[in-house]
Amino acid sequence: MTADSRTATRIARRIATEIGAAPAQVDAAAALLDGGATVPFVARYRKEATGGLDDTQLRTLSERLAYLREMEARRAAILASVRDQGKLTDDLARRIDQADTKAALEDIYLPFKPKRRTKAMIARENGLEPLLRAIQADPSRDPAALAPAYATGPVETPKAALEGARDILVEELAETAEVLGGLRDMMRREAVIAARVVAGKEEAGAKFSDYFAHSESWASIPGHRALAILRAANEGVVTIDISLEPETGTARAEGIVARALGPLGQGPGADWLRGV
């Protein structure tokens, strides 16, 4: 079986599970849609070919087919990119293969994506990654006692050395798939979207008046209302804010980051790591 055939089979099986059909039905419908047939036409006139898939199943199939094909193409491109960089391990290949959304794929790829010159990149060039590793290896030690050994060349002071080590850790955490996925899931479940009218836009944006002072859960907002709010923001009528409940949301977000740091124990180094 070729790679393309394996990908097509994988997509068909996944869609079949999602819409309650057999993979052969998905393959038949996909062939019709790829040939230019529309969903209403297939639903009405090609029931014998698709095994009786109805309009709702076919619309879901069509949407998911496009999404999953794009995702599989992106998966292949990411694998090729990481392989060309000489950084593709068996574990990384397995994680890429098991990612089941575009967002999850991009989270995994982020550390390997070509990027602009960052503070962390400069800190690594200045030899400050070993300082971070030393702090992580023994959090009971005082980072302030370790830092002077790294204050050489362009790193003028121990304080600058610690700032560089912090820049490296911040970038690593920001590129950790588990952190990104956890924060995204929490925002999806718990965030509130709030819209407020821009002063002086009340008359020009009257058609969006329902959203001049509006807030509701992001998890339960209907798609049409979310699109209307985003459209109002794009037209400069309202400002929008998507955030967690301030009293508890920040603490839970910090907890997700803390789990990525692992068990730290006690000591000046542990306090420094937690403070990042």
What distance in Å separates the CA atoms of residue 196 and residue 241, rounded to the nearest whole number? 9
Q: Which CATH code fits 3-100?
A: 1.10.10.650
Ranges of the chain with pLDDT below 70: 1
Which pLDDT score, from 0 to 100, does residue 63 have? 94
* Cα 46 versus chain centre, distance: 38
3-state secondary structure of 163: helix
Rounded Cα distance, 232 and 209, in Å = 10
Domain ranges, ordered by start, for the chain: 3-100, 119-177+254-275, 192-243
What pLDDT score does 1 carry? Answer: 64
